[in-house]
Amino acid sequence: MYSVEKTALIRKSEKEILKIEACGRDAFRIRAIRGGDFPKKPSAIENTSNPEIRVELGEETTVVYNGKIKAVIEGKHARLSFYNGDKLILEERLQAHPLKLFAREFVELPNGKYKITARFEAKADEKIFGMGQYQQPQLNLKGSTLELAHRNSQASVPFMISNKGYGFLWNMPSIGEVSFAENLTKWTAQMSDVIDYVVIAGDTPAEILEKYMLLTGKPPMMPEYALGFWQSKLRYRSREELMSVAREYHKRGIPLSVIVCDFFHWPHQGDFKFDEDYFPNPAGMVKELNDMGTELMVSVWPTIENDSENYEEMKSRGFLIEDHKDNGPHHDCYFDAVFYDATNPEARKFVWDKCKKNYYEKGIKIFWLDEAEPEYIKYDFDNHKYHIGECLEVGNYYPVTYAQNFYEGMQHEGQENIINLIRCAWAGSQKYGALVWSGDIMPTFESLRCQVSAGLNMAMAGIPWWTTDIGGFDGGNQESNEYRELMVRWFEYATFCPVLRMHGFREPAVDGIGETGGGICFSGGDNEIWSYGDEAYEIMKEHIFLRERLRPYIREIMKEAHERGTPPMRPLFYMYPEDKRAWEADDEYMLGGDLLIAPIMELGQRERSVYLPQGVWIDAYTKKKYNGEATINTDAPLERIPVFIREDASVNAETFN
């Protein structure tokens, strides 16, 4: 029944083969199949240097040890419980008789695969964080039901950290669902042939997350140019429009790190090149920007129009995502298009070769990888098939391979410190230089509130680089005083995010400037920092200069992310796990170890309460000192949000003046 290997224990029964394998330090990878060999599947696990396990075999109970974690296997159904030393941290839910609800359940599908369910006991006082990006204000996910699928503004990154002292990775890119209910924790996958998850034991959230990042990969070092201010709008319609904005920033003496050439700068989707009727001499454009200290980021979509010069070849070579029900378009933006299959290595090579020739060799060193979920016209997951399998079984892996496509291409050219903006992620995306942004969100204070939780849960899910469209994406009138206030408050918050980036589809829209190619596409209204009136301009300008003064500090926390996987944005409990009130604080956070940030997320709000954890804290603007482990009320005039500096921090309070 049992066989013991150096790093794993295998239990075979009539209905199941169960493998409990050491997975890095203080962690187990659990896999279960109905029979045969364990299949090779897309996995977030990168580090396979596993330590030797210790096993105590028994007639009713068997125990497996890996450092401080132990797994206990009990009974004929092999129910699993996990311990950190002698402390129970997680246990499977088994209700075999009379309910016949098993901890690991396989329901056979017509194609020979299975619908998978894994059940665990729930703890009423458990707090759960991570899981990626969902558009909801809750930071603590206990009580939430989450779709395990990607959508525009939703990124399913199925790693969670519990206040009970463990981390859990659902290492299955299948479409599914998880419920963190009061009476049960239940994970489901709509299609698979294996159950695959990882349990990590740790005494603090930081310890757990660092072990997880060792398994799945840490981000590169963020390049110096990315630490500053990024300018973007729905799209600059021509080279002259884009360059006039960059020149204006330069004329005003405002540092501009990155400016963006967004979608429909191409003749057709899938051409992967500039439409030189509107963007002539791209290399010259890049050089002029570089001379002003600015990098040009270019948008790439994975959509391929029928009229693209590459469509027929990509179709004939099997580089496009296949459909079961019909062969209709996957996406509709001006023209019908289908998605290229980024899970196919040959398709990735084809796309990179085009982008290398038409962008990279003209000086483009940073890409905007849009539509990365991918965003189907209808999220009909059972209709699509990828090179690596059915969408239902592997669909959540697509954004990983999309990021991998460009990261490995740039790496092959000798580039270091690679960063690319992308609209989605799954577990492990971070190692491919993925800077995830929160998608086409709404321009409201309610949406801003959701982004604060989304960014922190992305951090706890192992995605350290994250950003939002300042002011929201879809709308926003420049002349509205209420919207101008939202822009200011969002900009202030974004100053203390991993990346400070302006973007959005502002009202009123403007028409295209031509009848062919990229010229037909409309754009939004102006979205530069001087577009919202003098008061907003002065506040945003000052925060750009504040961001510049914070560069040494931000550089150091990016180094921590690269070397240890430590996220730049951290919930209070990450730094103060012994503080029970820190686990309750869901609308403030740490940027690095020294700055406590309290965003303003309501119209007209000019003060707010802030919880300060243990220690002495200095108001960054007034220089007043406060003792920690206390809630205070503090002013929040329009020109600033509350920021507190830990006493003896590396950041000097004079930075803020």
Determine, yes or no, domain membership for 62.
yes
Name the pLDDT band for 96 (thresholds 50, 70, 90).
confident
Determine, yes or no, domain membership for 212.
no
Based on the fold, state whether residues 35 and 108 are members of the same structural domain.
yes
Distance CA 201, CA 208 (A): 7
Based on the fold, state whether residues 232 and 169 are members of the same structural domain.
no
Residue 77: name the closest of 58, 96, 56 by CA: 96
Based on the fold, state whether residues 412 and 499 are members of the same structural domain.
yes
Determine, yes or no, domain membership for 217.
no
Q: What is the mean pLDDT of residues 186-205?
A: 98
Determine, yes or no, domain membership for 563.
no
Residue 474 known to be catalytic: no
Residue 380: name the closest of 429, 304, 328, 305 by CA: 328
Based on the fold, state whether residues 388 and 273 are members of the same structural domain.
yes
- DSSP helix/strand/coil, 445: helix
Based on the fold, state whether residues 237 and 276 are members of the same structural domain.
yes
Of 540, 558, 588, the one marking the end of a domain is 540
Residue 187: name the closest of 156, 213, 155 by CA: 156
End-to-end CA distance of the chain, in Å? 69
pLDDT score of 47: 74
Based on the fold, state whether residues 596 and 522 are members of the same structural domain.
no
Asked whether the predicted pLDDT for residue 652 surpasses 90, the reply is no
Q: What is the mean pLDDT of residues 168-192?
A: 98
Distance CA 490, CA 471 (A): 6
Determine, yes or no, domain membership for 553.
no
Distance CA 378, CA 182 (A): 33
Based on the fold, state whether residues 532 and 632 are members of the same structural domain.
no
**Contact indicator for 551, 227 with CB cutoff of 8 Å:** yes
The CATH number for 618's domain is 2.60.40.1180
Distance CA 626, CA 618 (A): 6
Which residue do the tokens 């990509």 mark? 314
Residue 377: name the closest of 432, 339, 322 by CA: 339
Token pair listed for 434? 């993925």
Determine, yes or no, domain membership for 556.
no
Based on the fold, state whether residues 403 and 503 are members of the same structural domain.
yes
pLDDT digits (tens, 9 = 90+) for 267-280: 999 999 999 999 99
Name the pLDDT band for 310 (thresholds 50, 70, 90).
very high
Asked whether the predicted pLDDT for residue 326 surpasses 80, the reply is no
Asked whether the predicted pLDDT for residue 48 surpasses 80, the reply is no
The DSSP element (H or E) to which 271 belongs, if any, is none
Based on the fold, state whether residues 379 and 517 are members of the same structural domain.
yes
User: Cβ–Cβ contacts within 10 Å for residue 124, how many?
Assistant: 7
Burial of 499 (0-12, 13-18, 19+ CB in 10 A): buried
Residue 30: name the closest of 161, 172, 213 by CA: 172
Asked whether the predicted pLDDT for residue 1 surpasses 90, the reply is no
- Work out the mean pLDDT of the chain and round it to a whole number: 97
Residue 305 known to be catalytic: no
The CATH number for 250's domain is 3.20.20.80
Q: What is the mean pLDDT of residues 290-315?
A: 98
Q: How many domains does the chain have?
A: 3
Residue of 26, 92, 305, 373 marked active site: 373
CA distances from 393 to 12, 105, 191, 239 (A): 25, 16, 5, 43
**Contact indicator for 205, 457 with CB cutoff of 8 Å:** no
pLDDT score of 46: 86
pLDDT digits (tens, 9 = 90+) for 411-447: 999 999 999 999 999 999 999 999 999 999 999 999 9
Residue 332 known to be catalytic: no
Of 488, 517, 540, the one marking the end of a domain is 540
Distance CA 83, CA 86 (A): 6
Distance CA 311, CA 159 (A): 37
User: Cβ–Cβ contacts within 10 Å for residue 160, how many?
Assistant: 24
Residue 138: name the closest of 498, 455, 586, 649 by CA: 586
pLDDT digits (tens, 9 = 90+) for 108-165: 999 999 999 999 999 999 999 999 999 999 999 999 999 999 999 999 999 999 999 9
The CATH number for 144's domain is 2.60.40.1760
Distance CA 211, CA 9 (A): 21
Determine, yes or no, domain membership for 320.
yes
* Domain coverage including residue 61: 2-201
Q: What is the mean pLDDT of residues 632-636?
A: 98
Residue 634: name the closest of 602, 604, 606 by CA: 606
Based on the fold, state whether residues 267 and 182 are members of the same structural domain.
no
pLDDT digits (tens, 9 = 90+) for 556-572: 999 999 999 999 999 99
pLDDT score of 474: 94
CA angle centred on 300, ends 465 and 216, rounded to 5°:
35
Residue of 370, 469, 492, 588 marked active site: 370
Edge-to-edge strands, sheet with 87-91? 54-56, 61-66, 69-74, 79-84, 87-91
Asked whether the predicted pLDDT for residue 517 surpasses 90, the reply is yes
pLDDT score of 49: 82
Of 525, 540, 555, the one marking the end of a domain is 540
Asked whether the predicted pLDDT for residue 531 surpasses 90, the reply is yes
The DSSP element (H or E) to which 597 belongs, if any, is strand 595-597
Based on the fold, state whether residues 234 and 124 are members of the same structural domain.
no
Based on the fold, state whether residues 379 and 522 are members of the same structural domain.
yes
Residue of 121, 309, 322, 440 marked active site: 440
Q: Which amino acid is at 628?
A: G
